[in-house]
Amino acid sequence: MIKKVTERFLTIFFPKHCAVCDAVLIRDNGICPECEKKLSLLSGNVCMICGKEIEEAKIYCYDCNRKQRGFERNFSVFTYSDMKESLYRFKYNGRAEYAKFYARTACRMHGRILKQLHADALVPIPLHCLRQRKRGYNQAEEFAKELSLLLDIPMRNDLIKRVKATKALKTLNAIERQNNLKKAFLFMQNDVKLNTIILVDDIFTTGATLDAAARVCKQAGVQKIYAVTIAVGAGLQDSADTPNFVGR
């Protein structure tokens, strides 16, 4: 009885919101009925490394064909263009609650294969301390927490640290992003031996952030590195859907 009254109180005064349209939800299932009907997930042929949608005849996207990635494969859920308003609210407008819906959907799509990786840890991409203090939370860490509960894989937010206050990536091209992220991360636990980890971030655009973090982890002795992201943008040949707010 007390539990039901408490839940009712929380629903009235602290309502949950649809992760797509932000409408108040009657039930806490992460998405309203209307958005659930038209929810679009990544489907069809995707790049076997970064997870971006590509033409049927291809195996890798334009970017991954010409780059040596620091990670084995990225598993994503949505295209950025379909979820850009949602991701903006998640990142900048305090909607950390969306993480639960994103994680549920990610596990529905990729849960089986992610478990088969036998990862030692989920590692969220860190924010610089000044940026996290201003924002109030790290959106990648919120996503990783929910994934950890569903996949039963420990989340480790103590392994890598962002030691460089990088410029907002939205102002930079692909080459500038790579240079911007040089020496941005530091592996903090040199006495920890990990075979496989899964990096966790919100959006994959050029992959510069994941590459930089992955290389630091490899230098520390991690053997296999995978990634999970909520959404992917477009390749360099079609930049219309590249997020214009992505930046840490």
Mean pLDDT within 127-152: 96
Query: May I ask the CATH class of domain 40-241?
Result: alpha beta
**Model pLDDT, residue 245:** 44
Residue ranges of the domains in the chain? Answer: 1-39, 40-241
pLDDT over 70 (residue 112): yes
**Model pLDDT, residue 43:** 84
Minimum mean pLDDT range among 45-54, 70-79, 100-109, 177-186: 177-186
Mean pLDDT within 55-75: 93
In the three-class reduction of DSSP (H, G, I as helix; E, B as strand; rest coil), residue 160 is classed as: strand
| 51, burial (CB in 10 Å: exposed 0-12, middle 13-18, buried 19+) | buried
3-state DSSP: the chain helix, strand, coil percent, rounded to 5? 40, 15, 45
**Model pLDDT, residue 192:** 74
Give the count of beta carbons closer than 10 Å to the beta carbon of residue 221. 12
241: DSSP letter: G
| 193, burial (CB in 10 Å: exposed 0-12, middle 13-18, buried 19+) | exposed
Burial 77-92 (b: 16+ CB within 10 A, else e): bbbbebbbebbebbbe
**Model pLDDT, residue 246:** 46
**pLDDT band at 152; cut points 50, 70, 90:** very high
**pLDDT band at 178; cut points 50, 70, 90:** low
**Model pLDDT, residue 195:** 95
Using CA atoms, how far apart are residues 248 and 237, in angstroms rounded to an integer?
Answer: 24
The average confidence (pLDDT) of the chain is: 87
**Model pLDDT, residue 199:** 99
